[in-house]
């Protein structure tokens, strides 16, 4: 058996005529699959089809803006406060999942006010299902970028990552890290398991009848996994080196506590009946108009 894995994947999938990176592709695939999953859920519950397009716009914008601002304010404010124009340079990297989560939460509250006119829990409980899958794909993108890996390890699945990745892409000889924990794969595996759990809860256990339950389970499982994996992950910024808990762990704690609160709230309240016509609301309306029957 190998003592370690030497990882030499190129972050760039296509270099010409336009540059396409694996990381960006994972985002696109994630949003596309998420759209398909939400379309199936909306059709299953008879929700208006036109909500899907609006929801996609809200989520995409909130994810990018929230994740970027999360990185700026949580991890690198000292730098960006002196170079504010570079906040816009998203192509240079620097996205924080906690910021993306906050951005999405704000966006869904606005989406509920202006579009669905329903409780935000209605959207949260359904949206977290594909978000878990998207999170796994983004971590695969991090793996392709040779970034956010873990401490050195002598385990046989340790990865040697290229530490001078930008220079290597431009022709320099690779400089490899010590065999390290592939924390990107650890997180991706956790998020895929969470995606499977949420799908099972929704499709087999009708968990959406208890508003806030799926949302709460998502927060508790995802951020508990994130909290634990951070113990073997390298610090992302210098200021984290001497911290007992790093920034990612401190930011995860409030989400875990909120998740526990949402679960308790969902379980102590009576279940809400939900009908499942398995058609979009517009289709139901169209069929009613044609037949003259309800």
Average pLDDT, the chain: 91
Assigned domain for 73 exists:
yes
How far is it, in rounded angstroms, from Cα 132 to Cα 195? 5
Assigned domain for 284 exists:
no
- The model's pLDDT over 142-174, given as tens digits with 9 standing for 90+, comes to 999 999 999 999 999 999 999 999 999 999 999
Query: In which band, very low, low, confident or very high, does the pLDDT at 17 lie, cut at 50, 70 and 90?
Result: confident
Domain that holds residue 111: 20-273
The mean pLDDT value for 190-207 works out to 97
Torsion sign across C-alpha atoms 177, 247, 31, 224: positive
Q: Residue 50: pLDDT above 60?
A: yes
Q: What angle do CA 191, 184, 161 make, to 5 degrees?
A: 165
Query: What's the total number of domains in the chain?
Result: 1
- The model's pLDDT over 229-286, given as tens digits with 9 standing for 90+, comes to 999 999 888 888 888 899 999 999 999 999 999 999 999 999 998 878 888 887 776 6
Q: Residue 290: pLDDT above 60?
A: no
Assigned domain for 246 exists:
yes
Question: Cα 47 from chain centroid?
Answer: 24
Assigned domain for 248 exists:
yes
- The model's pLDDT over 62-111, given as tens digits with 9 standing for 90+, comes to 999 999 999 999 888 888 988 889 888 876 678 888 999 999 999 999 99
The per-residue pLDDT for 286 is 65
Assigned domain for 15 exists:
no
Assigned domain for 159 exists:
yes
Assigned domain for 282 exists:
no
Query: In which band, very low, low, confident or very high, does the pLDDT at 289 lie, cut at 50, 70 and 90?
Result: low
Closest CA to 74 of 82, 66, 63: 66
Assigned domain for 289 exists:
no
Say which residues have a Cβ less than 8 Å from residue 237's Cβ, sequence separation at least 6.
75, 76, 247
């Amino acid at each position: 058996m190998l003592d370690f894995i030497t990882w030499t994947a190129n972050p760039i999938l296509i270099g010409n005529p336009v540059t396409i990176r694996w990381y960006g592709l994972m985002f696109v695939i994630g949003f596309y699959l998420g759209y398909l999953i939400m379309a199936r859920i909306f059709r299953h519950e008879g929700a208006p089809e036109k909500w899907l397009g609006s929801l996609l716009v809200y989520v995409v914008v909130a994810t990018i803006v929230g994740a970027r601002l999360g990185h700026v304010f949580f991890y690198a404010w000292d730098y960006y406060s002196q170079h504010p124009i570079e906040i816009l340079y998203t192509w240079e990297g620097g996205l924080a999942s906690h910021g993306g989560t906050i951005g999405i939460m704000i966006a869904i509250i606005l989406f509920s006010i202006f579009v669905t006119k329903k409780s935000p829990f209605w959207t949260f409980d359904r949206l977290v299902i594909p978000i878990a899958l998207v999170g796994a794909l983004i971590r695969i993108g991090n793996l392709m970028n040779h970034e956010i890996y873990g401490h050195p390890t002598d385990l046989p699945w340790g990865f040697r990552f290229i530490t001078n990745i930008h220079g290597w892409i431009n022709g320099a000889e690779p400089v490899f890290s010590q065999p390290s924990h592939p924390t990107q794969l650890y997180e991706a595996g956790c998020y895929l398991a969470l995606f499977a759990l949420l799908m099972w809860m929704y499709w087999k256990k009708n968990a959406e009848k208890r508003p806030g339950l799926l949302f709460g389970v998502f927060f508790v499982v995802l951020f508990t996994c994130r909290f634990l994996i951070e113990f073997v992950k390298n610090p992302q910024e210098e200021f984290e080196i001497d911290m007992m808990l790093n920034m990612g762990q401190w930011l995860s704690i409030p989400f875990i506590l909120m998740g526990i609160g949402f679960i308790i709230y969902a379980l102590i309240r009576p279940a809400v009946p939900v009908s499942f016509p398995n058609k979009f609301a517009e289709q139901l309306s169209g069929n009613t108009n044609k037949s003259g029957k309800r």
